[in-house]
Structure 1
């Protein structure tokens, strides 16, 4: 059974990963070859294709870094520097993760409150829902500088502006999913609650909220990923000294493509950890909500 599980789930992942690495190395050699011939090898001198491959995979500023170069820089950023050093990826990841989590919590709460208001008041649905949808038509790259300037003029700097941008991207998926989830109960179920003389609050906690959870948690994962993007984008126009966005910006100034890619990989790992935590919470909550199995009488 274990062998069959490995063959069905682990083997396909390994095969895709191996093919990805093969294509990546091929692309790195092809894209870095002109620069290697121009800056590393002698254009007129004798050299073999093995020399060319070695040169393309060991360039200081390659067009496309090889996977092993990114892994070395990633390990160095995590281990070789103190946590408070500007070169530490742990510091940059913590700063971005802090803004992401704060924006996620604020966005999720805002989305839930808006959804509850929309479901329970038709007037608010007509008044709020079009604006909720319209808010997402504005690119975050255009919103971020405006928010930074306004909040900066009010004395808010550092974490708060980034969290606001993350909130802007987080609340929309939660609002839309919760509206759908709170309306998921069937008419018969609502009439049954009415028969029991349940109030709106009792109907919400007993019926609507449990029915909305399967809609809520997928939206929270999307919201968390969007919040991470918002936090990174918010770090770009501010000239921040810490954060993965600041690391990307600084590395691009100096043409350090290896550091750019290591920051991107770290952002991906941070996103996986945060969304994975939501998945674990989802499984725990839904497991507690399942009715206990009844025992048959002997």
Structure 2
């Protein structure tokens, strides 16, 4: 009886929080995934079993979940591939998923940093110049309507023609995708202070730079970090896309290409899972930086 109270409180906390809903959705996705694996792999695997002799439904289902080159691999096959290429191989080996993840992460972070700095500078310029606001902002918005798959090869070719290769071309593609959300978010954030507060700064004879640093920039931090969460995920997409047209031999994009060339769908999905995990971790780290920055500004947790 003494454990009933704490147990009930724990149950209410789990049900009322995010744990149970998230687990429920995850279990539903896994269940649908296994059913989809049966449907997509059924024809190929049953043809193999028919040539080998009679088979039962259970054997056919088991075959769809253990195919060597499935149309859609089962979740446990992807988990096994990730485990093998992360823990059973040296991190410095080209066979290691960590090796390829680090190559992609390097260009992702570089492009994200360049894109964030560029976005902040453009936002400050738009804030203080009506000409930039009217002339530059429409072009910034228009630039994002161009498919990155179309522009990435051109960026790679142009930069290679002037001797720029390796990490920078992929980083520039990441920059192209990441600067836009930061620019838009910062423009909105820098304009967010109330008119009464800006008038108060004028009353104190504050310079535009002092108003920017003391009022507008602190007010823009929530907008900045929200846009940076979008930007860091977009930067990862840009890095992977940048590896596709270059014939790269390292990186998650190269891993995807190699898997598609040789029909290794399990390898393709393991690279996609690693990219998803990387994106989640990067967004989480930006969230931690946001909490630290806002706490330093005196915001409540």
Q: TM-score, normalised by structure 2?
A: 0.94
Show the counterpart of 2:5. none
Partner of 2:198: 190
> Greater shift after overlay, 89-98 or 129-138?
129-138
Alignment partner of 1:212 is 2:220:
yes
Question: Match of 2:240?
Answer: 232
Alpha-carbon distance in structure 2 between the residues aligned to 1:186 and 1:13: 38
Aligned Cα root-mean-square deviation (Å): 1.2
Q: Which moved more, 1:276-285 or 1:43-52?
A: 43-52
Q: 1:253 to 1:124 in 2, by over 3 A?
A: same
Indicate yes or no: 2:39 matched with 1:30: yes
Shift, 1:3, TM fit: 2.6
User: For 1:39-80, what per-residue CA distance to the aligned partner results, in whole angstroms no more than 9, with x for missing partners?
Assistant: 3x1248321101101111111000100000000000011012
Structure 2 residue aligned with 1:221: 229
Q: What is the SS of the residue equivalent to 1:137? A: coil
CA distance in 1, matches of 2:11, 2:296: 32
Identify unmatched segments of 5+ residues in structure 2: 1-8
1:146 partner SS:
helix
Equivalent residue number for residue 183 of structure 2 = 175
The 1-side partners of 2:162 and 2:52 are apart by 62
1:137 is displaced (CA, Å) by 1.2
Match of 2:101 among 75, 93, 100: 93
Match of 1:135 in 2: 143
**Rounded Cα–Cα distance in structure 1 between residues aligned with 2:143 and 2:290:** 28
State the alpha-carbon separation in 1 of the partners of residues 52 and 271 from structure 2: 37
Query: Alpha-carbon deviation of 1:84?
Result: 2.2
Q: Provide, for residues 224-269 of structure 1, a one-character-per-residue CA deviation record: whole Å limited to 9, x for no partner.
A: 0110000000000000010000000010000000000000000000
Q: Which residue of 2 aligns with 1:255?
A: 263
- 2:208 maps to 1:200: yes
Q: Distance in 1 between matches of 2:93 and 2:15?
A: 44
Q: 2:23: which partner in 1?
A: 14
Residue 242 of structure 1, aligned match among 209, 234, 250: 250
Corresponding position of 1:267: 275
Report the Cα distance in structure 2 between the residues aligned to 1:291 and 1:92, rounded to whole angstroms. 39
2:60 equivalent in structure 1: 52
